[in-house]
């Protein structure tokens, strides 16, 4: 198989709007998915210039399927969700294509690794402990109440609020086996921040207005600020106000620097506490209606004008 014309955006399990965005900025699109007959795939297939059935969840299978693209100019693999972002980074590294390093994407995707780095490299530290489920009550006491707990692989939205030792004992009995992360409860409104990174320079693109937190018991989920309550999308940069925005933007940039994240979009949840902004969570992903996929494709493939208007075959 001969390499297709460049510029080429290889998209792992993309949404329809992601394929459209890539084509609108001037890239040809190769959509990769493990099952092209899955429900909902027909619309994506119709938008893409080319399609390839390959299991992107397997590093070896993905790199073998894309081996003909090794070292190609103006070509890169993209994933705009946590899992696909890491798979894309690994593929780009193996195929000598541009993009963030697999290590930086892995750190940004790992709540514990990211918290450790942010605490070490910034002034916005947050108390935390990592432990096995059985040690949860002791770890919670060390962090201090109120605090939150979640399995290591869970998102911040899945954290459970603990108000005391009894809560910790009850939740410990109900959590699955494995490592958990206990963090101090960050009291304050949540802000969701989208940013784009290029050669290590981070630009905040959009934010939500501050969203109130909630939580009244040990089983209640702590709002991570992942969505607007009114169902709307992220707003402009003025939503935070001149007194808060610079500190939030600085924390986002410091977080991405701590992960050594150089290229691509990111989504960061920040708590506006009485002591200043604090990191809740971050990841190499976007919200569903984000404009960042098009920005990321154009930047990484060095596209200046949307000259290409390919018709899907």
177-195 confidence digits (pLDDT tens): 999 999 999 999 999 999 9
Confirm if 131 and 180 have CB atoms less than 8 A apart. Answer: yes
Query: Using 50, 70 and 90 to split pLDDT, how confident is the model at 305?
Result: low
**Residues of the chain above pLDDT 90, percent:** 78
Residue 73 has pLDDT above 50, yes or no: yes
Confirm if 217 and 294 have CB atoms less than 8 A apart. Answer: no
Q: What is the pLDDT of residue 227?
A: 37
How is the beta sheet containing 128-132 ordered, strand by strand? 128-132, 179-184, 147-151, 160-162
Q: What residue ranges define each of the domains in the chain, with the CATH number in brackets?
A: 8-98+292-300 (3.40.50.20), 107-124+186-283 (3.30.470.20), 128-184 (3.30.1490)
Ranked by mean pLDDT, which of 129-143, 210-224, 229-243 comes out on top?
A: 129-143
Cα distance between residue 263 and residue 212, in whole Å? 31
Mean pLDDT of 243-267: 96
Lowest-confidence range among 58-62, 71-75, 148-152, 309-313? 309-313
Q: What is the pLDDT of residue 213?
A: 66
Q: What is the pLDDT of residue 289?
A: 87
Mean pLDDT of 287-308: 84
C-alpha triplet 7, 8, 13: angle, nearest 5°: 155
Confirm if 21 and 32 have CB atoms less than 8 A apart. Answer: no
Q: What's the distance, CA 75 to chain centroid?
A: 22
Query: Using 50, 70 and 90 to split pLDDT, how confident is the model at 304?
Result: confident
Residue 295, classed as helix, strand or coil, is: helix
- What CA dihedral angle connects 131, 135, 136 and 137, to 10 degrees? -150
Residue 228 has pLDDT above 70, yes or no: no
Q: What's the distance, CA 198 to chain centroid?
A: 16
Mean pLDDT of 291-313: 73
Residue 155 has pLDDT above 60, yes or no: yes
Give the CA distances from residue 72 to residues 26, 37, 49, in Å, rounded to whole numbers and listed in that order. 17, 29, 18
Q: What is the pLDDT of residues 53-67, one digit of tens each?
A: 999 999 999 999 999
Listed residue (158, 159, 156, 126) closest to 143, CA to CA: 126
Q: What is the pLDDT of residues 4-47, one digit of tens each?
A: 567 999 999 999 999 999 999 999 999 999 999 888 889 999 99
Q: What is the pLDDT of residues 194-204, one digit of tens each?
A: 999 999 999 99
Q: What's the distance, CA 10 to chain centroid?
A: 18
Cα distance between residue 240 and residue 201, in whole Å? 21
Cα distance between residue 120 and residue 126, in whole Å? 10
Q: At what angle do helices 245-258 and 111-121 cross, to 10 degrees?
A: 110
Cα distance between residue 5 and residue 126, in whole Å? 48
Instruction: Report the Cα–Cα distance between both ends of the chain, in Å, rounded.
Output: 18
Q: What is the pLDDT of residue 39?
A: 86
CA atoms within 13 A on the CB side of 42: 1
* Other CB atoms within 10 Å distance of the CB of residue 70: 13
């Amino acid at each position: 198989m001969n390499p297709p014309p460049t510029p080429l955006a290889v998209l792992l399990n993309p949404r329809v709007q992601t394929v459209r965005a890539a084509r609108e900025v001037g890239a040809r699109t190769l959509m990769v998915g493990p099952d092209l007959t899955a429900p909902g795939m027909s619309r994506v297939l119709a938008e893409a210039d080319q399609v390839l059935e390959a299991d992107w969840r397997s590093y070896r299978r993905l790199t073998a399927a894309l081996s003909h693209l090794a070292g190609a100019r103006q070509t890169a693999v993209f994933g705009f969700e946590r899992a696909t972002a890491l798979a894309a980074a690994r593929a780009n590294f193996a195929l000598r294509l541009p993009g963030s390093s697999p290590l930086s994407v892995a750190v940004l995707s790992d709540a514990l690794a990211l918290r450790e780095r942010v605490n070490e490299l910034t002034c916005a530290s947050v108390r935390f402990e990592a432990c096995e489920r059985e040690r949860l009550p002791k770890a919670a006491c060390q962090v201090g109440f109120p605090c939150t707990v979640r399995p290591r692989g869970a998102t911040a939205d899945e954290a459970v609020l603990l108000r005391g030792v009894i809560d910790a004992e009850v939740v410990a009995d109900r959590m699955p086996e494995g490592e958990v992360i206990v963090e101090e409860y960050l009291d304050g409104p949540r802000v969701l921040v989208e940013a784009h990174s290029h050669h290590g320079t981070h630009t905040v693109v959009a934010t939500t207005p501050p969203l109130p937190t909630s939580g009244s018991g040990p089983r209640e989920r702590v709002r991570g600020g992942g969505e607007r309550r009114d169902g709307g999308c992220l707003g402009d940069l003025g939503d935070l106000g001149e007194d808060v925005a610079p500190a939030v933007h600085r924390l986002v940039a410091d977080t991405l620097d701590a992960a050594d994240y150089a290229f691509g979009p990111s989504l960061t949840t920040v708590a506006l506490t009485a002591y200043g902004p604090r990191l809740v969570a971050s990841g190499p992903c976007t919200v569903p209606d984000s404009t960042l996929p098009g920005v990321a494709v154009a930047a990484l493939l060095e596209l200046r004008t949307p000259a290409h208007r390919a018709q899907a075959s």
